């Protein structure tokens, strides 16, 4: 089989469309909402309406997280470039515009990915139109999500949720929150399920917003659940506690969201590389792509090394999405893509600041902002260290109890 390293032809139109939107709609307001943390970027309502229109007409899968869905078609052995590839390509372009604004796009939340990947067709129909955030992290539980303490207790035809969730992206602006909670703390991982809690449900309160280093356009909220009742069929997927399955149900979400975060990192790093290349050219530094880096100026060699690192991350991102499109297991590749791209984006954006000196550090350009924005991409949806742990477990065939 030949491997094509180009973006699939079928998706080039979508990718270019997302790039235009990023350039003409996100970039112009990028600095404004970096400074006005917690102000709602109203310009995004128009953009969301456009994306809804394109999705309804079948012209696009959407440019954000909601685009990732499992393909329900029978496996006919044909190779496909589908919704997952479209999503990572679209997201990378949008994040070339602005990561924080992409995370604030109505109806494109990480909770939408959870609904798309774990929800039944009926649940996708019922909740798919809502803007959903995702609430896993708690004050005592970040990386080790198996230690979640938020409880879900069955009471007749309802579940009663109690607990506190922190650092919920789009937690204030979203229309529903996908809450991870345990049906029984004693039963560990298999008892953890996700529940769709629409905003306005009594017992759910948004308590406060965080001030942050980067992605300031994105709201990050603390959410309290106090005797919060939801219909029993708001539990996403199966209510059965399957001991053989471990974390599998809820974890399937990560197989879809980690390539998306990798895409955010690829897009943000590309923005920094493109601008740095321009700034270096203006300063008289030329980069020769036909000669070895060692024979060129230090600045050119550094740029070439960063571009190679970026390309490696991009290929891992495409692989993880492609596997999902073709109904093949992608958990290891999703973690690899996230680990590589998260670290690459942090390194590249900061190195671009360094290469461009005072121009890189000042607010006249967006390089310093991208260095701040990129850091979160190596933290949320599983930190760098956690991705490496997951990859090591899978490569070595060890369980989470055997390798901590
Ligand atoms: C801006 C922002 C947005 C976020 N959005 C969301 C969201 O939408 N939904 C949500 O649920 N959460 C969200 N989070 C939370 C995020 O997912 C967690 O911060 C992350 O999982 C890490 O958890 P922690 O902060 O508790 O760090 P900890 O788990 O306490 O980890 C601290 C450090 O120790 C390392 N570490 C931990 N365990 C190990 C180990 N076994 N081996 C080696 N190193 C280890 C970590 O890698 C990290 O470097 C967000 C966070 C931020 C900052």
The pLDDT tens digits of the residues spanning 340-351 come to 999 999 999 999
**Ligand 1 contacts CB of residue 254 (under 6 A):** no
37 is catalytic: no
Mean pLDDT taken over the chain = 90
- What's the confidence (pLDDT) of residue 400? 86
**Ligand 1 contacts CB of residue 88 (under 6 A):** no
- What's the confidence (pLDDT) of residue 404? 86
**Ligand 1 contacts CB of residue 135 (under 6 A):** yes
Rounded to the nearest angstrom, the distance between the alpha carbon of 325 and the centre of ligand 1 is 28
Counting ligand 1 atoms within 8 A of each CB, the residue from 108, 140, 142, 174 with the most, and so the one to mutate, is 142
In this predicted structure, the answer to whether residue 161 has a pLDDT above a threshold of 50 is yes
129: nearest Cα among 142, 145, 116, 141? 116
- What's the confidence (pLDDT) of residue 75? 61
Kindly compute the dihedral angle of the four CA atoms of residues 182, 188, 190, 193, in this order, to the nearest 10 degrees. 20
Rounded to the nearest angstrom, the distance between the alpha carbon of 158 and the centre of ligand 1 is 31
- What's the confidence (pLDDT) of residue 67? 40
- What's the confidence (pLDDT) of residue 2? 55
240: nearest Cα among 196, 194, 190, 197? 190
**Ligand 1 contacts CB of residue 110 (under 6 A):** yes
Instruction: Pick the residue whose CA is nearest to atom 43 on ligand 1.
Output: 385
In this predicted structure, the answer to whether residue 62 has a pLDDT above a threshold of 60 is no
In this predicted structure, the answer to whether residue 9 has a pLDDT above a threshold of 90 is no
Counting ligand 1 atoms within 8 A of each CB, the residue from 108, 143, 150, 216 with the most, and so the one to mutate, is 143
Task: Report the C-alpha gap between 309 and 194 in whole angstroms.
Answer: 36
In this predicted structure, the answer to whether residue 139 has a pLDDT above a threshold of 80 is yes
In this predicted structure, the answer to whether residue 212 has a pLDDT above a threshold of 60 is yes
In this predicted structure, the answer to whether residue 143 has a pLDDT above a threshold of 70 is yes
| Residue pointed to by tokens 């409880």 | 151
- What's the confidence (pLDDT) of residue 216? 98
- What's the confidence (pLDDT) of residue 54? 67
The confidence band for 204, taking pLDDT boundaries of 50, 70 and 90, is very high
Residue range 58-65: mean pLDDT, rounded: 50
**Ligand 1 contacts CB of residue 394 (under 6 A):** no
Q: Which of 16-30, 180-194, 198-212, 276-290 is predicted least confidently? A: 180-194
Task: Report the C-alpha gap between 145 and 152 in whole angstroms.
Answer: 15
In this predicted structure, the answer to whether residue 96 has a pLDDT above a threshold of 50 is yes
Q: Which of 93, 365, 368, 381 is catalytic?
A: 381
- What's the confidence (pLDDT) of residue 63? 44
In this predicted structure, the answer to whether residue 59 has a pLDDT above a threshold of 60 is no
| Residue pointed to by tokens 């809450």 | 179
Counting ligand 1 atoms within 8 A of each CB, the residue from 137, 145, 177, 215 with the most, and so the one to mutate, is 137
Measured from the Cα of 170, ligand 1's closest atom is 8
**Ligand 1 contacts CB of residue 380 (under 6 A):** yes
Residue 222 phi/psi, 5° resolution?
-100, 130
Instruction: Pick the residue whose CA is nearest to atom 26 on ligand 1.
Output: 142
């Amino acid at each position: 089989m030949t491997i094509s390293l180009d973006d699939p032809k079928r998706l080039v139109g979508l990718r270019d469309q997302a790039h235009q939107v990023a350039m003409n709609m996100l970039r112009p307001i990028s600095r404004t909402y970096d400074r006005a943390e917690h102000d709602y970027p109203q310009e995004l309502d128009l953009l969301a309406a456009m994306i809804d229109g394109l999705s309804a007409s079948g012209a696009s899968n959407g440019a954000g997280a909601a685009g990732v869905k499992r393909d329900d078609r029978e496996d006919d052995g044909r190779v496909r470039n589908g919704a997952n590839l479209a999503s990572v390509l679209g997201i990378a372009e949008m994040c070339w515009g602005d990561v924080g604004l992409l995370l604030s796009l109505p109806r494109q939340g990480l909770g939408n990915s959870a609904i798309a990947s774990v929800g039944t067709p009926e649940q996708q129909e019922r909740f798919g139109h809502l803007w959903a955030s995702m609430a896993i992290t708690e004050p005592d539980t970040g990386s080790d999500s198996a230690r979640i303490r938020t409880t879900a207790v069955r009471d007749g035809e309802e579940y009663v949720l109690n607990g506190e969730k922190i650092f919920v992206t789009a937690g204030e602006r979203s229309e529903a929150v996908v809450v991870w909670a345990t049906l029984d703390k004693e039963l560990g991982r298999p008892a953890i399920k996700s529940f769709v809690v629409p905003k306005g449900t009594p017992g759910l309160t948004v308590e406060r917003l965080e001030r942050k280093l980067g992605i300031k356009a994105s709201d990050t909220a603390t959410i309290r659940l106090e005797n919060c009742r939801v219909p029993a069929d708001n539990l996403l997927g199966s209510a059965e506690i399957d001991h053989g399955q471990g974390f599998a149900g809820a974890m399937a979400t990560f197989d879809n969201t980690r390539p998306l975060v990798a895409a955010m990192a690829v897009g943000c790093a590309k923005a920094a590389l493109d601008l740095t290349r321009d700034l270096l050219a203006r300063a008289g530094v030329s980069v020769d792509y036909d000669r070895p880096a060692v024979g060129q100026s230090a600045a050119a060699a550094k740029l070439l090394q960063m571009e190679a690192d970026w390309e490696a991350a991009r290929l891992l991102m495409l692989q993880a999405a492609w596997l999902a499109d073709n109904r093949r297991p992608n958990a290891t590749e999703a973690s690899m893509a996230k680990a590589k791209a998260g670290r690459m984006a942090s390194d590249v954006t900061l190195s671009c600041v360094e290469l461009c000196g005072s121009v890189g550090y000042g607010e006249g350009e967006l390089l310093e902002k991208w260095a701040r924005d990129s850091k979160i991409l190596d933290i949320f949806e599983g930190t760098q260290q956690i991705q490496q742990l997951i990859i090591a477990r899978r490569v070595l065939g060890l369980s989470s109890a055997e390798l901590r």
